[in-house]
């Protein structure tokens, strides 16, 4: 009796879920929710303002560096820079989304869900639908590309596997690098026709994908495919999976450079056609900069090529929408400031500054050696540059004509004299100026207090890090002054992901590889960059100042010149990490000892200006070029093969 | 019969009706109308069929049919020969009795449902009896009067008073009074009644005899409360049920759960924290046999039949508990079907009885101390070792403390510039004081009986109150419980109970909780600044505390400022009303009874936080005792309070139950009983208690009600008190699963054999073997509370429509418009998810010896838990699922045994004793578990390992030196490591230490063995109780990450253990307690490994209580009925191999310590 009663009642009584609970079908019921879903797809974009979890900054100590007394070395990127990467629980595991990595395969699945369902909404204009589909295809390609840059041959997910897929179906293989590249390019080619050439209204659409962006990324993908890491790399000759498929070709294929060159040229042409050109600073843009001399204007051109407001920056093709901010990267709550890269890089401006929030991280000391001399050639190749005495302290005199760079009558290292404008625009040096739109101490002295950054000059700290990457710290930022003023005002800007200069140099690189000998076509693209930096062309500079004046005429020397030009031009922009790996030359940089100027608390100039290694070298082998996959992932999918060497 | 027809019609109406929601109300109305019939003897009608029945049997038959209870005087024996034959339909009870007594000199007297049968008083005529003492004198008979009462002075009806050696006797009347004519002064009276201890009283000289009867222990245990509150004769019980005399659970604490460990056979219990309000013990019946994460593992708790949570159980007042049962095996819990897999705790509260008002008051005051506080090293050692920690890891870095600073600090000449702070001293007291008062009133008349109770507890934390502060920051909990259980007797066959209960908790305390205060005290630097500074010349006038801070705001934490600048206030209430109606059918349906229960419960919670923003100062110079302070945040500090984090939540539940039961003894040997129960339950609001504290969830699915419907039944048959068989089932529905999986059927069978009742045992003397019984059960029970509560609807996908989004456009005014949230899939639908099913078997035996003075109950049990929800393990990352789907894949098997032994004895000289002990062993292991392919590393497989057993590395020791580090297998655990760090064993010999070298280590983290034993002895007015408790076969980890000194910019305090025993370059002790010092976390050392594994076994003197009951002459003069004063102590000593903190806290040892309590109390009865 009771059983019957309960039985009858149960049907409705236990049905507590209302019909309008959100389900997967809701996510494509109309344009508005489809828009939201697209934001989800975008939200997986790796965040280049997240310094400890984006791989391009602190995974090595040759471009950026971190102070040992700061615990950022224990964060994932810092662990890699100390040689602690491992296959047990890899740091920055973008494969599975652990230890600081974003889950790229989850991102790809999300793209696929979008692509599977994008036909559903009825209230969307067909052109817009196609545009959105193209954007998501681009992102799907980019997520694959991001993985490819870290892992080389990867699993390609063309379509989502259903949850009910059998274990055999889900055990997918890493595909050979050429297939991966082909698929990414195929996706980009599908996307490009439906994308707008450029973003129409930056006020509402900045951050979305345009044709120029897609073409630029396609150019980079093909450049990767042609580069030494993936094009005939003998180190990986033995890397085969359990079917015997070789994942990275052991033989070099020069035609890949030709294909890349063509794609790069197309990207540059379309960019030009849509108004992109190399950035140049206009000193009449704000009242604070009217008084700048030409030297300062050149420096501003270098700095603002990165930090200029995006709507006025003609040289940035693609920039992140993310912003540098406190606490990024899950940094321990005690000092969330550590997560804010630009703040942590900010120098102590005044002797009375409290060091806590600033200057935890720095430009690597080795970056001081990278830049050219004022003759436009490397220090060690410049026959006029006193290379042997470059570490000796030297007093700045009016005769040096360095009044825009170094405070007169102050002593600093010899190598801080007679360098190219990009040296001074990229780095804050001891006794050099740090130009800011506003500084207030001493009754509003102009925007360039010179920086005193020796150990005993900074209150309560253990010595300032060697250099500060001035280039990526916006001119409009302001820092603290004195004990009580602890203010730091951040000027947000769109950190670039792809600049036109990048494509120029990439094109020069590709052309140099496709030609038997470099010619004017190669020099042209490099010289465009040098001109903006206030330097003469490659051929002229070498001829006038270098020990080896004919270097630019030699293909191999020219390759090194282009690479160096690229490291200089794109310094601190999160590009070096990718480039030195692509060129297979990371080992020589990553194994440099972390170095700083001089002893803590050095009392004399001589004692301070001694390059001092302060942490152990990292042992680098070929396996460090690509990240390992966690052994747990290999256990679940027995068809996956570990990254070679791990 | 009419009534049944009515009920059937009603039920059919409900079936047809579209208005099902109203059915409970309707049903209740009907029950009320049903029970309005039959007020007294003349109204209750029975059908009486008697043929040649002896008088006693006739009266018993009437008793069976009518629910009136008959008490026989001894005179009735005179009428043994009388035989009665009646055949009457619809005869009133009164007429039936008169008919039975027709031909005798007997009479009846009624008091409520009690009917006393005795001889009509004859006209007194003096009888001369020969004086047996000789001497020729003839002693004259005289009449002696007296009163028989229970311990609470209530008269006892129907007690036989008999002159020993004669047939002279009488029974006590309704008020317990009697009068008896005795032949002479030398006689001895025997006072006897079932359920009471028989007494012998020499009359000599007494005019009036006053006898206080003691309940026999057997009487209490004769009946066991089983599922749905059904009282079952212990003899007939085939399931495994632990019952306990509620008074054994009385501990000097406001938390009942703290008393469970070692007192309940079959219950694994332990208490991990001593923080008032958060000190619930964890308890599991027969251990944990599931590994579904987030699912329910602890027992179903039913208080008066209503599902309640652990906190409700914790608030129960022992004085209010009538019965406490633990249903352990499948058979006992079967009726709860899908909810009973983890066992059931069943508590009923007291109801009133017909008696004059009786008042009991109990008041206690106790003082509690930390059992053990983890020691911190002194500030000088702290600074020295901080320097060592920095230098030993990296010689390039400047030392944090200059030697001059250490020297000055040690001298203590200038505490402002060289502070040395013991944070414990500023934050903690050495003891806390708690109070408890209970009051209950019980009594009642014929129609209404009541039990009214109120309890008040005030618990304070052990945190120091600051007098200068704006807020009271210590934990302070005021709790009030009010209970009213009123029984209404509508008719002898129909009773109703109205229960009302309210519980009100007011709590204030530190914002982050008490445990956090202990953490902060350990996490602050002892040498950088003073907790607060005295006002200096320029700051003398400020109206706030000058909290100390290092030179940089935000660099350090000042725990005092953190703790006292905020507090949290919360109020929580539970209110319920419960109606019960019970009707016993008569006539042809005799033996059948029906009961309905309806309950409405509301829980409310609100919380808010008040805080101010502390002003921080740092001293900038010190000259001759004068100093100046620099304000670090003059603009941010506040001198006033603000409030926030305001949470208000309500939780509502309704419950309805209809029960039909049937009991009949046929031909004196066939005992048939059956029961059918239907229940329906709805709960909405915040869905579990955790949520109350974690704040609301915005998921629509969390807002949907939890519902259960069940039909359960039992059929039992007993033959001649020797053989028993039982079949139980639960048929349950839940809202959690897809339609086709919603209903589950859970049957069990059981049988019992009372060997001692066999004829062939009749020659065994009861004084030696009084009881011997074997019993066994087998069956299935389920668990629907699998997975996390927010994952209830596995068959639906869960979509977060406000997931992480992305913005387009340019930063600037109004551009938030271009941000949109994204859509995130939090769960993929799986409509195959269903119950967890436990198949349980139980075999037990019971032995009673020496007239049941000694009892021994032992049970052995096995369990297989199937359909355990677990993560799928075969889904590669590259599929890209955001969350790993779960499925009912796991199987676990558990087994164990438990035993309880009790011996009690009282002696004529007033000495009595009770010794008891129990022991529980429960273990479980993985039988099926989906995991990665570990064919090349079988030690990583979970299958065959114990549930709750940690996986970890095997630590060999610490590295001796760098060459050893370089030559040993590379430890890819994380971070850099060097000499003095932990060296792990390379299990698979591949030259690399990684997760493939992890193995199961130690015991499970939940103890496998819990045992307890104690005794109570009494002599006249004194009593003494001691109770020991132990726990064995458990492991826990010291969490190295939680105690690493000097981390967080050199703030974390240094434990004395680490200061005393660590690896250092000068003392390369490779087995030191702590590895090489460091001022940052060393990931290599922080992983789970045998280095940090500790044995959780302990044995403790849990409780000692000494009591003294005032003798009657004193209580009489105070006009109270009884008065007992007592003193007790809890957690007095423990023995364990682990010394750092109280081992019962296990891995939680850095939290709020378990408390040692000294308590004094008084209990008064009026």
| A168 touches B at CB < 8 Å | no
Burial class (CB in 10 A: 0-12, 13-18, 19+), B673: buried
CA distance B24 to chain A (A): 12
β-bridge pairing A393-395 and A611-613: unpaired
β-bridge pairing B188-192 and B199-202: antiparallel
**How many whole angstroms separate alpha carbon B1034 and alpha carbon B498?**
45
Dihedrals φ, ψ of B786, to 5°?
-105, 155
Among B20-34, B165-179, B521-535, the range with the most confident prediction by mean pLDDT is B521-535
In this structure, what DSSP letter does residue B950 have? P
Residue B881 exposure: Cα atoms within 13 Å on the Cβ side: 21
CB-based contact B975 A79, cutoff 8 Å: yes
Report, as ranges of residue numbers, the positions in chain A whose pLDDT lies below 50: 1-4, 8, 440-447, 460-464, 483-485
Per-residue pLDDT tens for B551-601?
A: 767 778 898 888 888 888 999 999 999 999 999 888 888 889 999 999 999
| A607 touches B at CB < 8 Å | no
DSSP labels, A525-593 = HHHHHHHHTT---HHHHHHHHBSSTTGGGSHHHHHHHHHHHHHHHTTTTT-HHHHHHHTT-HHHHHTSP
Residue with the two structure tokens 């003897």: B41
Chain A residues touching residue B681 (CB < 8 angstroms): none
| C-alpha closest to that of A112 among A186, A178, A162 | A162
By Cβ distance, the residue of B676, B680, B879 closest to A161 is B879
How many H helices and E strands in chain A?
A: 23, 10
**How many whole angstroms separate alpha carbon A151 and alpha carbon A641?**
11
| Choice between A157 and B1050, residue whose per-residue pLDDT is larger | A157
**Range of lowest pLDDT (A53-57, B441-445, B631-635):** B631-635
**How many whole angstroms separate alpha carbon B98 and alpha carbon B86?**
12
CB-based contact B676 A208, cutoff 8 Å: no
Chain A residues touching residue B396 (CB < 8 angstroms): 68, 614-615
pLDDT of residue B1010: 95
pLDDT of residue B759: 86
Residue B1001 exposure: Cα atoms within 13 Å on the Cβ side: 21
Q: A126 is written with which tokens? A: 């067909």
DSSP labels, B617-651 = EEEEEEETTEEEEEES-TTT--SS-EEEEEEEEEE
| A159 touches B at CB < 8 Å | no
| C-alpha closest to that of A300 among A319, A311, A286, A320 | A286
Q: Give the 3-state secondary structure of residue B264.
A: coil
**How many whole angstroms separate alpha carbon B1005 and alpha carbon B925?**
13
Dihedrals φ, ψ of A51, to 5°?
-65, -35
pLDDT of residue B815: 57
CA distance B594 to chain A (A): 12
Q: What is the largest CA-CA distance in chain A?
A: 109
CB-based contact B557 A334, cutoff 8 Å: yes
CB-based contact B878 A172, cutoff 8 Å: yes
CB-based contact A40 B974, cutoff 8 Å: no
Is residue A433 a contact partner of residue A412, using CB atoms and an 8 Å limit? no
pLDDT of residue B138: 47
- Tell me the CA distances in angstroms from B1109 to B1050, B1116, B1120, one per residue in order: 58, 13, 12
Residue with the two structure tokens 């296959």: A87
CB-based contact B880 A631, cutoff 8 Å: no
pLDDT of residue B1100: 93
Model confidence band, residue B814 (pLDDT cutoffs 50, 70, 90) = low
Residue with the two structure tokens 């979970």: B942
| Choice between A560 and B48, residue whose per-residue pLDDT is larger | A560
Nearby residues of B1100 by Cβ (< 8 Å), 6 or more positions away: B1028, B1029, B1030, B1131, B1132, B1133, B1134, B1135, B1144
Is residue B1047 a contact partner of residue B1062, using CB atoms and an 8 Å limit? no
Per-residue pLDDT tens for B197-225?
A: 777 777 777 777 777 777 765 444 467 78
CA distance B577 to chain A (A): 23
CB B736: neighbour CB atoms within 10 A?
26
Chain B residues touching residue A27 (CB < 8 angstroms): 799, 801, 823
| Choice between B210 and B1164, residue whose per-residue pLDDT is larger | B1164
CB-based contact B1083 A492, cutoff 8 Å: no
CB-based contact B680 A13, cutoff 8 Å: yes
Is the backbone of residue B923 left (phi > 0), alpha (psi -120 to 50) or beta? beta
pLDDT of residue A447: 46
Chain B residues touching residue A24 (CB < 8 angstroms): 797, 799, 825, 829
Over residues B360-383, the mean pLDDT reads 92
Burial class (CB in 10 A: 0-12, 13-18, 19+), B523: buried
Per-residue pLDDT tens for B103-130?
A: 777 777 776 677 778 777 654 433 333 4
CA distance B400 to chain A (A): 10
| A293 touches B at CB < 8 Å | no
| A294 touches B at CB < 8 Å | no
Over residues B727-739, the mean pLDDT reads 89
**Sign of dihedral through CA atoms B990, B992, B995, B1001?**
positive
Chain A residues touching residue B809 (CB < 8 angstroms): 202-207
- Tell me the CA distances in angstroms from A629 to A88, A634, B428, B687, B1152, one per residue in order: 8, 7, 49, 40, 42
pLDDT of residue B216: 63
Nearby residues of A192 by Cβ (< 8 Å), 6 or more positions away: A134, A211, A214, A215, A218
Is residue A65 a contact partner of residue A594, using CB atoms and an 8 Å limit? yes
**How many whole angstroms separate alpha carbon A343 and alpha carbon B791?**
41
By Cβ distance, the residue of B875, B976, B996 closest to A631 is B996
Residue of chain A with shortest Cα separation from B1084: A84
Is residue A638 a contact partner of residue B933, using CB atoms and an 8 Å limit? yes
Residue of chain B with shortest Cα separation from A171: B876
pLDDT of residue B24: 39
**Sign of dihedral through CA atoms B828, B829, B830, B834?**
positive
| Choice between B747 and A23, residue whose per-residue pLDDT is larger | B747
Chain B residues touching residue A6 (CB < 8 angstroms): 678, 680, 709-711, 731, 733
| A25 touches B at CB < 8 Å | no
**Sign of dihedral through CA atoms B130, B134, B140, B141?**
negative
Rounded to the nearest integer, the mean pLDDT of chain B is: 84
Query: H or E segment at A241?
Result: none
CB-based contact B20 A13, cutoff 8 Å: yes
In this structure, what DSSP letter does residue B366 have? E
Q: Give the 3-state secondary structure of residue A189.
A: helix
Full-model pTM? 0.81
| Choice between B243 and B140, residue whose per-residue pLDDT is larger | B243
DSSP labels, B1049-1075 = HHTS--BHHHHHSB--SSS--TT-SB-
Chain A residues touching residue B20 (CB < 8 angstroms): 9, 12-13
| A613 touches B at CB < 8 Å | no
pLDDT of residue B394: 79
Dihedrals φ, ψ of A149, to 5°?
-65, -30
Among A334-338, A619-623, B511-515, B699-703, the range with the most confident prediction by mean pLDDT is A619-623
**Range of lowest pLDDT (A108-122, B491-505, B677-691, B984-998):** B677-691
**How many whole angstroms separate alpha carbon A238 and alpha carbon A645?**
10
Q: Give the 3-state secondary structure of residue B183.
A: coil
Model confidence band, residue B1147 (pLDDT cutoffs 50, 70, 90) = confident
β-bridge pairing A64-66 and A361-363: antiparallel
| Choice between B838 and B466, residue whose per-residue pLDDT is larger | B838
CA distance B861 to chain A (A): 31
CA distance A94 to chain B (A): 10
**How many whole angstroms separate alpha carbon A391 and alpha carbon B492?**
109
CA distance A548 to chain B (A): 41
**How many whole angstroms separate alpha carbon B687 and alpha carbon B704?**
9
| Choice between B907 and B381, residue whose per-residue pLDDT is larger | B381
**How many whole angstroms separate alpha carbon A646 and alpha carbon B990?**
13
Is the backbone of residue A152 left (phi > 0), alpha (psi -120 to 50) or beta? left
**Range of lowest pLDDT (A489-493, A588-592, B161-165, B301-305):** B161-165
pLDDT of residue B797: 82
Dihedrals φ, ψ of A573, to 5°?
-100, 15
CA distance B971 to chain A (A): 9
């Amino acid at each position: 009796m009771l059983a019957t009663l309960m039985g009858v009642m149960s049907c409705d009584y236990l049905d507590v879920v209302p019909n309008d609970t959100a389900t997967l079908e809701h996510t494509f019921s109309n344009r508005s929710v489809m828009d939201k879903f697209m934001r989800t797809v975008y939200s997986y974009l790796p965040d280049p303002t997240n310094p400890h979890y984006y791989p391009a900054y602190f995974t090595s100590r040759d471009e950026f560096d971190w102070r040992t007394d700061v615990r950022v070395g224990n964060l994932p990127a810092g662990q890699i820079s100390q040689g602690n990467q491992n296959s047990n629980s890899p740091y920055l595991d973008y494969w599975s989304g652990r230890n600081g990595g974003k889950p790229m395969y989850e991102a790809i699945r999300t793209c696929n869900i979008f692509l599977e369902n994008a036909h559903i909404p009825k209230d969307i204009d067909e052109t817009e639908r196609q545009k959105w589909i193209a954007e998501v295809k681009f992102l799907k390609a980019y997520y694959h590309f991001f993985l490819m840059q870290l892992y080389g041959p990867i699993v390609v997910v063309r379509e989502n596997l259903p949850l009910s897929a059998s274990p055999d179906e889900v055990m997918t293989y890493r595909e050979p690098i050429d297939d991966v590249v082909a698929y990414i390019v195929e996706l980009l080619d599908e996307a490009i026709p439906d994308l707008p050439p450029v973003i129409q209204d930056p006020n509402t659409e900045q951050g979305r994908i345009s044709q120029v962006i897609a073409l630029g990324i396609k150019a980079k993908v093909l450049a990767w495919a042609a580069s030494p890491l993936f094009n005939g790399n003998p180190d990986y000759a033995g890397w085969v999976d359990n079917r015997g498929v070789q994942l990275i070709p052991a033989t070099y294929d020069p035609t890949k450079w030709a294909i890349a060159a063509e794609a790069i040229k197309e990207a540059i042409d379309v960019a030009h056609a849509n108004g992109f050109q190399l950035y140049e600073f206009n000193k009449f843009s704000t009242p604070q900069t009217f008084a700048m001399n030409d030297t300062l204007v050149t420096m501003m051109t270098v700095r603002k090529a990165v930090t200029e407001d995006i709507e006025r920056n003609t040289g940035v093709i693609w920039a992140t929408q993310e912003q540098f901010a406190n606490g990024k990267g899950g940094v321990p709550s005690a000092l969330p400031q550590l997560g804010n890269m630009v703040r942590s890089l900010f120098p102590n401006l005044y002797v009375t500054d409290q060091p806590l929030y600033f200057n935890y991280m720095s430009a690597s000391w080795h970056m001081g050696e990278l830049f050219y001399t004022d003759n436009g050639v490397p220090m060690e190749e410049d026959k006029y540059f006193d290379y042997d005495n470059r570490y000796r302290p030297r007093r700045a005199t009016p005769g040096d004509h360095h009044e825009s760079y170094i405070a007169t009558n102050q002593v600093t290292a010899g190598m801080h004299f007679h360098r190219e404008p990009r040296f001074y625009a990229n780095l804050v040096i001891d006794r050099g100026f740090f130009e800011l739109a506003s500084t207030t101490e001493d009754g509003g002295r102009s925007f360039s207090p010179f920086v005193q950054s020796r150990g005993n000059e900074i209150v309560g700290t253990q010595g300032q890090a060697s250099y500060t990457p001035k280039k990526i710290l916006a001119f409009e930022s302001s820092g603290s002054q004195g004990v009580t003023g602890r203010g730091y005002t951040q000027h947000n800007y769109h950190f670039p992901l792809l600049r036109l200069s990048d494509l120029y140099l990439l094109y020069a690189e590709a052309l140099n590889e496709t030609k038997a000998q470099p010619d004017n076509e190669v020099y042209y693209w490099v010289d465009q960059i040098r001109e903006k930096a206030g330097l003469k062309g490659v051929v002229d500079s070498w001829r006038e100042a270098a020990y080896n004046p004919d270097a630019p005429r030699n293909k191999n020397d020219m390759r090194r010149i282009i690479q160096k030009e690229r490291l200089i031009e794109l310094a601190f922009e999160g590009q070096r990490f990718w480039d030195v790996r692509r060129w297979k030359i990371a080992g020589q940089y990553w194994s440099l000892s972390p170095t700083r100027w001089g002893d803590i608390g050095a009392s004399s100039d001589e004692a301070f200006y001694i390059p001092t290694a302060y942490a152990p070298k990292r042992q680098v082998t070929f396996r460090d070029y690509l990240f390992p996959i966690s052994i747990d992932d290999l256990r679940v999918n027995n068809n996956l093969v570990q990254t070679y060497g791990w | 019969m009419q009534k049944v027809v009515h009920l059937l019609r009603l039920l059919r109406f409900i079936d047809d009706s579209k208005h099902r929601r109203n059915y409970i109300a309707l049903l209740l109305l009907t029950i009320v109308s049903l029970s309005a019939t039959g007020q007294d003897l003349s109204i209750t009608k029975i059908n009486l069929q008697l043929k040649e029945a002896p008088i006693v049997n006739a009266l018993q038959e009437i008793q069976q049919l009518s629910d009136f209870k008959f008490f026989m005087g001894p005179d009735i024996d005179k009428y043994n020969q009388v035989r009665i034959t009646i055949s009457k339909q619809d005869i009133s009870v009164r007429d039936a009795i008169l008919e039975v007594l027709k031909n005798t000199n007997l009479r009846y007297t009624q008091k409520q449902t009690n009917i006393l049968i005795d001889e009509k008083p004859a006209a007194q005529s003096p009888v001369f009896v020969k004086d047996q003492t000789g001497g020729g004198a003839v002693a004259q008979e005289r009449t002696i009067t007296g009163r028989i009462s229970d311990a609470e002075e209530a008269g006892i009806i129907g007690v036989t008073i008999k002159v020993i050696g004669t047939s002279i006797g009488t029974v006590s009347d309704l008020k317990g009074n009697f009068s008896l004519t005795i032949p002479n002064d030398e006689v001895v009276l025997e006072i006897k009644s079932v359920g009471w201890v028989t007494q012998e009283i020499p009359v000599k000289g007494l005019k009036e005899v006053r006898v206080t009867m003691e309940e026999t222990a057997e009487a209490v245990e004769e009946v066991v409360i089983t599922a749905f509150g059904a009282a079952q004769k212990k003899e007939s019980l085939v399931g495994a049920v632990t019952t306990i005399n509620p008074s054994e659970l009385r501990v000097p604490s406001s938390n009942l759960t703290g008393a469970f460990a070692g007192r309940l056979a079959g219950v694994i219990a332990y208490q991990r924290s001593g923080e008032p309000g958060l000190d619930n013990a964890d308890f599991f019946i027969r251990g944990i046999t599931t590994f579904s994460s987030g699912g329910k593992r602890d027992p179903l708790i039913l208080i008066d039949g209503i599902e309640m949570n652990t906190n409700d159980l914790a608030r129960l007042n022992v004085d209010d508990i009538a019965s406490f049962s633990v249903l352990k095996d499948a058979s006992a819990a079967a009726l709860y079907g899908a909810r009973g897999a983890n066992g059931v705790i069943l508590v009923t509260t007291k109801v009133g009885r017909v008696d004059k008002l009786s008042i009991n008051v109990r008041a206690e005051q106790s003082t509690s101390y930390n059992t053990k506080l983890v020691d911190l090293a002194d500030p000088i050692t702290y600074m020295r070792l901080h320097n060592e920690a920095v230098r030993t890891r990296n010689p390039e870095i400047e030392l944090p403390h200059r030697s001059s600073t250490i020297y000055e600090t040690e001298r203590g000449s200038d505490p402002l510039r060289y502070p040395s702070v013991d944070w414990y001293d500023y934050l903690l007291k050495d003891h806390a004081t708690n109070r408890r008062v209970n009051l209950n009133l019980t009594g009642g008349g014929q129609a209404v009986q009541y039990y009214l109770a109120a309890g008040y507890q005030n618990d304070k934390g052990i945190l120091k109150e600051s007098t200068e502060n704006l807020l009271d920051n210590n934990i302070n909990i005021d709790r009030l419980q009010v209970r009213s259980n009123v029984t209404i007797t509508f008719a002898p066959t129909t009773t109703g109970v109205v229960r009302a209960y309210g519980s009100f908790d007011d709590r204030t305390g530190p914002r982050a909780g008490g445990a956090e205060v202990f953490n902060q005290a350990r996490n602050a630097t002892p040498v950088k600044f003073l907790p607060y500074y005295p006002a200096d010349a320029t700051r003398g006038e400020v109206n706030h505390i000058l909290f100390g801070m290092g030179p940089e705001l935000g660099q350090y934490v000042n725990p005092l400022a953190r703790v006292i600048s905020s507090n949290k206030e919360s109020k929580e209430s539970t209110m319920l009303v419960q109606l019960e109606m019970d009707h016993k059918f008569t006539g042809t349906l005799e033996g059948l009874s029906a009961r309905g229960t309806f309950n409405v419960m509301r829980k409310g919670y609100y919380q808010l936080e008040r805080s101010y923003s502390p002003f921080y100062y740092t001293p900038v110079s010190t000259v001759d005792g004068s100093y100046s302070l620099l304000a670090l945040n003059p603009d941010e500090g506040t001198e006033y309070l603000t409030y926030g984090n305001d949470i208000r939540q309500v939780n509502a539940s309704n419950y309805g139950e209809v029960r039909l039961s049937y009991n009949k003894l046929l031909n004196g040997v066939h005992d048939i009983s059956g029961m059918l129960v239907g229940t329906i339950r709805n709960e909405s609001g915040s869905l579990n208690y955790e949520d109350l504290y974690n704040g609301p969830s915005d998921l629509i699915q969390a807002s949907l009600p939890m519902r259960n419907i069940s039909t359960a039944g039992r059929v039992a048959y007993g033959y001649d008190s020797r053989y028993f068989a039982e079949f139980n089932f639960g048929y349950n529905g839940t809202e959690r699963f897809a339609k086709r999986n919603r209903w589950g059927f859970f049957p069990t069978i059981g049988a019992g054999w009372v060997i001692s009742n066999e004829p062939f045992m009749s020659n065994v003397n009861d004084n030696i073997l009084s009881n011997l019984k074997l019993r066994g059960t087998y069956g299935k029970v389920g668990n629907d509370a699998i997975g996390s509560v927010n994952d209830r609807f596995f068959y639906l996908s869960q979509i977060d429509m406000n997931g992480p989004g992305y913005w387009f456009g340019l930063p600037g005014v109004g551009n938030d418009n271009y941000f949109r949230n994204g859509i995130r899939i939090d769960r993929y639908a799986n409509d195959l998810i269903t119950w967890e099913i436990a198949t349980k078997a139980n075999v037990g035996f019971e032995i009673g010896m020496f007239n049941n003075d000694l009892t021994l109950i032992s049970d052995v049990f096995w369990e297989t838990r199937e359909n355990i929800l677990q993560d799928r393990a075969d889904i590669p990352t590259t599929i890209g699922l955001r969350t790993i789907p779960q499925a009912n894949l796991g199987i676990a098997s558990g087994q164990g045994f438990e035993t309880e032994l009790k011996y009690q004895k009282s002696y004529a000289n007033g000495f009595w004793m009770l010794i008891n002990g129990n022991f529980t062993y429960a273990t479980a292991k993985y039988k099926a578990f989906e995991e990665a392919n570990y064919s090349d590393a079988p030690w990583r497989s979970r299958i065959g390992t114990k549930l709750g057993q940690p996986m970890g590395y095997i630590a060999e020791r610490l590295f001796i030196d760098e060459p050893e580090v370089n030559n040993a297998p590379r430890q890819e655990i994380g971070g850099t490591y060097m000499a003095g760090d932990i060296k792990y064993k390379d299990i698979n010999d591949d030259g690399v230490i990684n997760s493939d070298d992890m193995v199961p280590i130690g015991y499970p983290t939940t103890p496998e063995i819990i045992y307890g034993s104690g005794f109570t002895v009494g002599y006249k007015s004194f009593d003494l109780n001691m109770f020991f408790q132990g726990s064995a076969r458990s492991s826990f980890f010291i969490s190295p990450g939680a105690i690493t000194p000097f981390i967080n910019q050199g703030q974390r305090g240094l434990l004395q253990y680490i200061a005393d025993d660590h690896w250092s370059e000068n003392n390369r002790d490779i087995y030191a307690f702590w590895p090489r010092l460091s001022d940052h976390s060393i990931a290599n050392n922080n992983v789970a490994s045998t280095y940090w594994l500790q044995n959780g076994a302990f044995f403790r003197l849990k409780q000692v209580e000494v009591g003294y009951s005032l003798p009657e002459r004193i209580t009489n003069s105070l006009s109270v009925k009884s008065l007992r004063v007592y003193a007790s102590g809890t957690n007095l000593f423990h023995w364990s191999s682990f010394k750092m903190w109280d081992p019962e806290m296990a891995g939680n040892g850095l939290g709020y310590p378990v408390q040692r309590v000294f308590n004094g109390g008084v209990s008064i009865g009026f």
